[in-house]
């Protein structure tokens, strides 16, 4: 039977007292999990999606958060993003509402389906972006930068 519970945290995020040796073992194990970073946009992505793909890869380069194992999530994100942009343009062209002869305002029928599609794309974008760490708050959950540790012992002054 599968083990359930909380997944293990990265050693840089772990706040519990695990000891130096165990922390070092975790860091070594985590370094073995690193994979190549030669991300290329899949051919099936639209022109707009490929443009977003390249932007994300370039912007995320210094952090090294996204690697080849994230290709599918990044592709889904970029595809959803391009669809979102396309649908939003169509909604803007159609307009949201119409006003009848009596002054009542209604959402246009052709716009209703586009709004549903756009909502689905927003949900996909949000899910993928949190997995990829595209927002600052998401990146902070994925990796906490190591703080500069003091090289001097603060208790030496009491000796």
109-120 pLDDT, tens digit per residue, is 778 889 999 999
3-state secondary structure of 135: coil
Is pLDDT above 60 for 147? no
Nearest to 67 by CA among 146, 140, 141, 133: 133
Is pLDDT above 60 for 14? no
Domain boundaries along the sequence of the chain: 37-135
Would residue 99 be called left, alpha or beta, if left means φ above 0 and alpha means ψ between -120 and 50 degrees? beta
Q: State residue 98's pLDDT score.
A: 74
Distance CA 25, CA 22 (A): 5
Highest mean pLDDT among 15-29, 64-78, 139-153: 64-78
How big is the CA angle at 139 (ends 24 and 65), to the nearest 5 degrees? Answer: 65
Query: Is this structure's pTM higher than 0.85?
Result: no
Distance CA 10, CA 133 (A): 15
State in Å, rounded, how far the first CA of the chain is from the last one: 55
The pLDDT-based confidence of 87 (bands split at 50, 70, 90) is very high
Which spans in 15-144 are helix H? 20-32, 47-60, 71-94, 109-132, 136-142
Is pLDDT above 80 for 70? yes
Distance CA 52, CA 65 (A): 17
Buried b (16+ CB within 10 A) or exposed e, 47-75: ebbbebbeebbeebeeeebbbeebeeebb
């Amino acid at each position: 039977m599968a083990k359930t519970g909380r997944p293990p945290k990265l050693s840089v995020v772990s706040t519990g007292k695990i000891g130096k040796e165990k922390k070092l073992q975790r860091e070594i194990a985590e370094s073995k999990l690193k994979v190549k970073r030669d991300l290329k946009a899949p051919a099936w992505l639209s022109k707009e999606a490929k443009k977003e793909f390249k932007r994300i890869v370039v912007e995320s380069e210094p952090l090294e958060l996204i690697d080849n194992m994230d290709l599918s999530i990044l592709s889904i994100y970029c595809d959803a993003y391009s669809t979102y942009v396309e649908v939003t343009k169509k909604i803007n062209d159609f307009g949201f509402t119409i006003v009848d002869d009596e002054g009542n305002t209604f959402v246009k029928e052709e716009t209703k389906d586009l709004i549903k599609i756009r909502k689905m794309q927003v949900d996909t974008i949000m899910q993928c972006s949190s997995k990829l760490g595209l927002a600052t708050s998401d990146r902070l959950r994925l990796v906490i930068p190591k703080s500069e540790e003091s090289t001097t012992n603060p208790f030496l002054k009491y000796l």
